[in-house]
Amino acid sequence: MPQQDKTQEAAIAATAGQQNDRFADRPADRPADRYNPQLVETKWFGRWQNDPHLYAADQVSGHADPIKKKYYVLEMLPYPSGVLHMGHVRNYSIGDALARYMWMNGYNVLHPMGWDSFGLPAENAAIANNTPPRQWTLGNIAKMKAQMKRLGFAYDWSCEVTTCLPEYYRWNQWFFLKFYEKSLAYRKKSKVNWCPKCATVLANEQVVNGCCWRHEDTLVEQRELEQWFLRITKYADELLRDLGQLDGWPEKVRTMQRNWIGRSEGTLVDFKLDYSQPTQPFGAAGATISVFTTRVDTIFGATSVQLAPQHPIVADLAAANPDLRVKIDQLIAEQRQAKEAGDIGEIEKHGVFTGRYAINPFNGEKVPVWVANYILMDYGTGAIMSVPAHDERDYEFAKKYKLEIRLVILPRSGDPEETMCEPALPFTAEDGTLINSGQFSGLDCAEAIKKMSAHAEQNGFGKATVTYRLKDWGISRQRYWGTPIPMLYCEKDGIVPVPEKDLPVILPENVEITLAGGSPLSKLPAFVNTTCPKCGGPARRETDTMDTFVDSSWYFYRYTDAHNGRAPFESKTAQYWFPIDQYIGGVEHAILHLIYSRFWTKFMRDLGLIANNEPVEHLFTQGMVIKDGAKMSKSLGNIVSPDEMVARYGADAARLYSLFAAPPDRDMDWQDSGIEGIQRFLGRVYRFVLRNAKPNRTDWGNMVPADLPPQARAIQRKLHQTIKRVSDDFQGRWHFNTCISAIMELVNALYSYEESVVSDRVARAPSPASAGGEVAAATPQPPAAEEAASIALRAEVQRSLVLLLAPFAPYLAHELWEMLGEKENLLKAAWPRYDAALAKEEEIEIPVQINGKLRSRVVVSADAGEDVVVDRALADEKVKFAIAGKQIIKKIYVPGKLLNIVMK
RNA sequence: GCCGGGAUGGCGAAAUUGGCAGACGCAGCGGACUUAAAAUCCGCAGGGGCGAAAGCUCUGUGGGGGUUCGAUUCCCCCUCCCGGCACCA
């Protein structure tokens, strides 16, 4: 504990004796008279530490309570960098509030936490500090776990998952074998991002503006490497289709996934190179150029074929033409530069004519074959037909190189009699009619696309097809700190999977980590050299490790059965808990993690391990934590440390503030002064309960009488309104900022009530109150009936107030709960219910407008009809004045809301 | 360029279905308590004008238009900020 707190504590202890003796009936360990978060939180922290099963879900196999409904609430697991940041605190505060709310509503709640603990930072740290990645990682986990516990998050640590341990990653390997068995894992050559300074592969997300994230002046190269892929594209259609069912997901995320999958229906059409011009032999790539188009209806307007510079046919054509080779290399360089600069969209279009022609199979026309820098090899077939009249890019290109522009679609006119007019070019809309298109002239575009695709297929030069932007998932990483891919290479038997019984393939330790010379594992003969399980001969191990997104694709299933040594998890248990009821995390994972997870779930379903089609029922993406107008980052120096906040204001204040400052789905602006206000509020609650809690009284639980005095009735109404507001938000829109505001309003109302009751009593009292500052002590006794009503009401209010606060500020809530003399565990105490009748206002104030301008207000009973309101309004002096001498045209009454009198 | 989200007091924000704009909190100001300060409690507070004051009045939700008795909210156009995607054929 910091020195400051010790002195503060000492000061409190020293003054304690001087305080009045109203709490003489409290036991010796009585609470401090002032809210001291450190005292409260360390006390409960200690108790919770000693109860490891506090937050454990009911066991499923055997004796889960069949009446309780399950609720699986999950926050995205962190990478163990070693220190929590405010974004984590916000994320976990949302999930924790929800978990606690669900517990209090009687659910069987699963609320686990784990560590996404493989990945490159551990290797960097190993190089920088000469610490083994495992040691560094496990040390970080210990630190962050301690931080999480101190923050009071209610996790069931008995099912903690640490992805870098063999007990977990062996199941990554097991799944990989299953993928391989089903032909969904395969090996092929592929382009990867390569940083020459790091001498290693980078993930796409580690390439920033075409440069290495750690060497910002070093351009990333593309290298061809043999890589393992998972065939996610097999599920592309299902992944797309089922997005439609995920109505518990933000539309933004669904849209992002839809775009990422990028399904595009179109037609493949084969253009044969012109045989009548055999000036060169055809190369290995053959003589047919297959193009992909979504607008086969415009094919009669195709006036050239455009190839990506990397297209295999281009290499053949250029082989015998050094001049062409030079120009094409130039195009490749331009394209690469644009990609690296991240503005491939703005590349200036360049192309070069190959000197060859191809034949449009629809009309037998010869069209020139060009190579262009705006054609991408990794989309479609890397070749297009160019239709300048009906495509903006083709139009721009044709204008530049003076290629023919031929109109083949006219806009469809609404009136069939009307002559169709020539559109401004390029005309790219799909509501048109074909012209100059042989037998297809006169068809609508949509109909033409179908008929022309069918025509191509019947005649063997094309077919309707679907293309995706989504690519198969390359999971090989030439790094050390990851799951070894369980495959072997035998000279005799080729690629051989490691037999299941030999799993896990253990990641060796005591490995020298360097950035040079390829994967560290490849330099370990003891790891690499093994025997082939088929022939017993010598074999080499795969030395690549898996992408860490593999780890996070299924970890939430492992939570349900974290210690299973025979299977990744027990199906029955997973079926009980899945799908996840609520998943909470940052929107930055909208694509990768969340699409991989969906893919993995569908694969596990096809394996028969689970029954659900989707892993996550409701997804919530919280906003970023911002300070001084920018995302918190070391380089900007605007980091707020959770540890420091906990030390200064307490975990409750840090958590409550992270929920109070903005709605959770929006970015929140961290202001140090804001958290002080929250601490003040918690102190106000503390003092109120401290003043009013009288745990030894026997009339504590008495029913609140129906005929309360008006001021007490107002408090009761406010209480029930507050319970309604907070409960509704948990059920619906999750605007915890306004929930907390509502609780603050309730507390403010209690202070006013206390004040007014006291002043009433003082007014009634025979003599002025004696000095002393503490209102209650100075108060003369009220009549017995009123006192009883007041006590019963206060008991209800205080209990409910503490319960309402429990999801947001658990430490203080537990402390106050104990102060109230409650014995039951607050975590399992019933969430307060509101009574709609008690929450209802008896009298309401109706604003009266004249011609839309507010002129007065009238007070009526809540169930008053329009006549009453109008009568009351017309009798109002201000209204009378405003309408004098004018004529009432109409009266608009919105029940319970407003009256507007329209005048002339 | 396309697709989202956003713009409201000095600041973070609220207004849930078209109905009193600014709840709640911060900062600020005034008062009480105190020898004093801190802490605490009470009160004031969008801006302009008039008024000693109570109050009255005009104005105000990025800008411009529209629909409506009534618009922060719905429609059209524009500006700026944030996020994602981007010659995807």
Q: Smallest Cα–C1' distance to nucleotide B34: which residue has it? A: A773
Whole-number pLDDT of residue A627: 84
Whole-number pLDDT of residue A492: 93
A678 beta carbon to strand B: under 7 Å: yes
- Read off the amino acid at residue A647: A
Contacts of A452 (CB under 8 A, 6+ apart): A267, A296, A297, A299, A362, A440
Please, which pLDDT band fits residue A420 given cuts at 50, 70 and 90?
low
pLDDT digits (tens, 9 = 90+) for A716-725: 999 999 999 9
Separate counts of helices (H) and strands (E) for chain A: 28, 34
- Residues in A 164-223 whose C-beta is less than 7 A from nucleic strand B are none
CA end-to-end span of chain A: 73
CA A734, CA A526: separation in Å to the nearest integer? Answer: 55
What is the full DSSP assignment across A131-180? --HHHHHHHHHHHHHHHHHHTT----GGG-EETTSHHHHHHHHHHHHHHH
Whole-number pLDDT of residue A284: 56
Q: How far is the CA of A12 from the C1' of B34 (A)?
A: 18
For the cut 60, the answer to whether the pLDDT of residue A1 exceeds it is no
For range A7-11, the mean pLDDT: 39
Please, which pLDDT band fits residue A27 given cuts at 50, 70 and 90?
very low
Cβ atoms of residues A602 and A578 within 8 Å: no
Nearest nucleotide from residue A668 CA, by C1' atom = B12
Whole-number pLDDT of residue A30: 64
CA A219, CA A207: separation in Å to the nearest integer? Answer: 9
Closest CA to A432 of A616, A251, A300, A608: A300
Closest CA to A488 of A528, A521, A548, A524: A528
Contacts of A783 (CB under 8 A, 6+ apart): none
Cβ atoms of residues A430 and A446 within 8 Å: yes
Nearest nucleotide from residue A35 CA, by C1' atom = B39
Q: How far is the CA of A96 from the C1' of B73 (A)?
A: 33
For the cut 60, the answer to whether the pLDDT of residue A746 exceeds it is yes
- Residues in A 595-624 whose C-beta is less than 7 A from nucleic strand B are none
User: How do beta strands A161-162 and A114-115 pair?
Assistant: parallel
- Read off the amino acid at residue A575: Q
Of A744-753, A826-835, A885-894, the least confident: A885-894
- Residues in A 3-32 whose C-beta is less than 7 A from nucleic strand B are none
CA A127, CA A672: separation in Å to the nearest integer? Answer: 37
For range A542-549, the mean pLDDT: 93
The answer to whether the bond into A426 is cis (omega within 30° of 0) is yes
Q: How far is the CA of A685 from the C1' of B28 (A)?
A: 25
Whole-number pLDDT of residue A576: 94
CA A382, CA A375: separation in Å to the nearest integer? Answer: 6
A740 beta carbon to strand B: under 7 Å: yes
Q: How far is the CA of A672 from the C1' of B30 (A)?
A: 26
Whole-number pLDDT of residue A335: 84
CA A611, CA A616: separation in Å to the nearest integer? Answer: 13
Whole-number pLDDT of residue A285: 57
Structure tokens at A754: 């206390």
CA A900, CA A890: separation in Å to the nearest integer? Answer: 8
For residues A345, A347, A348, A350, the Cα torsion angle rounded to the nearest 10 degrees is -110
Mean pLDDT across chain A, nearest whole number? 86
Structure tokens at A317: 């054509």
Q: How far is the CA of A606 from the C1' of B9 (A)?
A: 58
Query: Which letter, b or e, does each residue of A245-268 get, where b requires 16 or more Cβ atoms within 10 Å of its Cβ?
Result: ebeebbeebbebbeebbebeebbb
Closest CA to A107 of A153, A180, A57: A57
CA A850 to chain centre: 48
CA A9, CA A52: separation in Å to the nearest integer? Answer: 29
CA A464, CA A298: separation in Å to the nearest integer? Answer: 15
Of A330-334, A703-707, A815-819, the least confident: A703-707
CA A693, CA A795: separation in Å to the nearest integer? Answer: 8
The larger pLDDT score, comparing residue A145 to residue A197, is at A145
A674 beta carbon to strand B: under 7 Å: yes
Structure tokens at A98: 């929800």
Q: Half-sphere exposure of A456 toward its Cβ, with a 13 Å CA cutoff?
A: 27
For the cut 50, the answer to whether the pLDDT of residue A62 exceeds it is yes
For the cut 70, the answer to whether the pLDDT of residue A6 exceeds it is no
Cβ atoms of residues A227 and A192 within 8 Å: yes
Q: What proportion of chain A, given as a percentage, has pLDDT over 70?
A: 87
Residue with tokens 């898996």: A546
pLDDT digits (tens, 9 = 90+) for A647-685: 999 999 999 999 999 999 999 989 888 999 999 999 999
Alpha helices in A459-567 (DSSP H): 525-528, 548-551, 555-558
Whole-number pLDDT of residue A873: 87
Cβ atoms of residues A156 and A150 within 8 Å: no
For the cut 50, the answer to whether the pLDDT of residue A884 exceeds it is yes
- Residues in A 308-337 whose C-beta is less than 7 A from nucleic strand B are 308
Structure tokens at A50: 């000693």
CA A435 to chain centre: 49
Structure tokens at A333: 């360089």
Nearest nucleotide from residue A684 CA, by C1' atom = B40
Backbone angles phi, psi at A279, to 5 degrees: -70, -25
Please, which pLDDT band fits residue A166 given cuts at 50, 70 and 90?
very high
Whole-number pLDDT of residue A17: 32
Structure tokens at A281: 């032999």
Closest CA to A515 of A463, A478, A462, A559: A478
Whole-number pLDDT of residue A455: 96
pLDDT digits (tens, 9 = 90+) for A180-195: 999 999 999 887 777 7
Cβ atoms of residues A685 and A747 within 8 Å: yes
- Residues in A 875-894 whose C-beta is less than 7 A from nucleic strand B are 878, 890, 892, 894
Please, which pLDDT band fits residue A298 given cuts at 50, 70 and 90?
very high
Whole-number pLDDT of residue A692: 85
Whole-number pLDDT of residue A3: 38
Helix (H, G, I), strand (E, B) or coil at A674: helix
Cβ atoms of residues A43 and A31 within 8 Å: no
CA A811, CA A43: separation in Å to the nearest integer? Answer: 9
CA A295, CA A266: separation in Å to the nearest integer? Answer: 7
Nearest nucleotide from residue A666 CA, by C1' atom = B5
Whole-number pLDDT of residue A781: 53
A669 beta carbon to strand B: under 7 Å: yes
Residue with tokens 């309360």: A708
Question: Over the Cα atoms of chain A, what is R_g?
Answer: 36
The larger pLDDT score, comparing residue A514 to residue A53, is at A53
CA A223, CA A606: separation in Å to the nearest integer? Answer: 35
Cα-Cα-Cα-Cα dihedral sign, residues A831, A836, A837, A843: positive
- Read off the amino acid at residue A6: K
Whole-number pLDDT of residue A478: 87
pLDDT digits (tens, 9 = 90+) for A63-116: 666 778 999 999 999 999 999 999 999 999 999 999 999 999 999 999 999 999
Whole-number pLDDT of residue A10: 40
Closest CA to A813 of A821, A795, A801: A801
For the cut 80, the answer to whether the pLDDT of residue A341 exceeds it is no
Whole-number pLDDT of residue A786: 66
Cβ atoms of residues A546 and A477 within 8 Å: yes
Please, which pLDDT band fits residue A61 given cuts at 50, 70 and 90?
low
Backbone angles phi, psi at A417, to 5 degrees: -70, -30
Whole-number pLDDT of residue A696: 53
**Range from A138-152, A225-239, A377-391 that averages highest in pLDDT:** A138-152
A787 beta carbon to strand B: under 7 Å: no
Nearest nucleotide from residue A681 CA, by C1' atom = B25
The larger pLDDT score, comparing residue A536 to residue A784, is at A536
CA A819, CA A823: separation in Å to the nearest integer? Answer: 10
Residue A18, burial from CB neighbour count under 10 angstroms (0-12, 13-18, 19+): exposed
A33 beta carbon to strand B: under 7 Å: no
For residues A19, A24, A25, A31, the Cα torsion angle rounded to the nearest 10 degrees is 30
Cβ atoms of residues A645 and A675 within 8 Å: yes
Nearest nucleotide from residue A744 CA, by C1' atom = B24
A898 beta carbon to strand B: under 7 Å: yes
For the cut 50, the answer to whether the pLDDT of residue A775 exceeds it is no
Instruction: Look up the ipTM and state it.
Output: 0.95
For the cut 70, the answer to whether the pLDDT of residue A437 exceeds it is yes
Contacts of A655 (CB under 8 A, 6+ apart): A89, A93, A96, A151, A152, A808, A809
Cβ atoms of residues A111 and A559 within 8 Å: no
Name the strands in the sheet holding A108-110, side by side, starting at the edge strand that comes first in the sequence: A108-110, A70-75, A580-586, A616-622
Q: Which nucleotides of B are covered by protein (CB under 7 A)?
A: 1, 3-6, 11-16, 19-21, 23-27, 33, 39-43, 56, 58, 69-71, 82-89
Closest CA to A620 of A658, A576, A590, A659: A590
Nearest nucleotide from residue A338 CA, by C1' atom = B87
Please, which pLDDT band fits residue A5 given cuts at 50, 70 and 90?
very low
Cα-Cα-Cα-Cα dihedral sign, residues A288, A293, A297, A302: negative
CA A168, CA A164: separation in Å to the nearest integer? Answer: 7
In this structure, chain A runs to a length of 904
- Read off the amino acid at residue A430: E
Cβ atoms of residues A12 and A34 within 8 Å: yes
Cβ atoms of residues A217 and A586 within 8 Å: no
Cβ atoms of residues A611 and A557 within 8 Å: no
pLDDT digits (tens, 9 = 90+) for A593-642: 999 999 999 999 999 999 999 999 999 999 999 887 778 877 777 888 99
CA A350, CA A334: separation in Å to the nearest integer? Answer: 9
The larger pLDDT score, comparing residue A66 to residue A295, is at A295
pLDDT digits (tens, 9 = 90+) for A470-524: 888 889 988 899 999 999 999 999 999 999 999 999 999 988 887 776 788 998 9
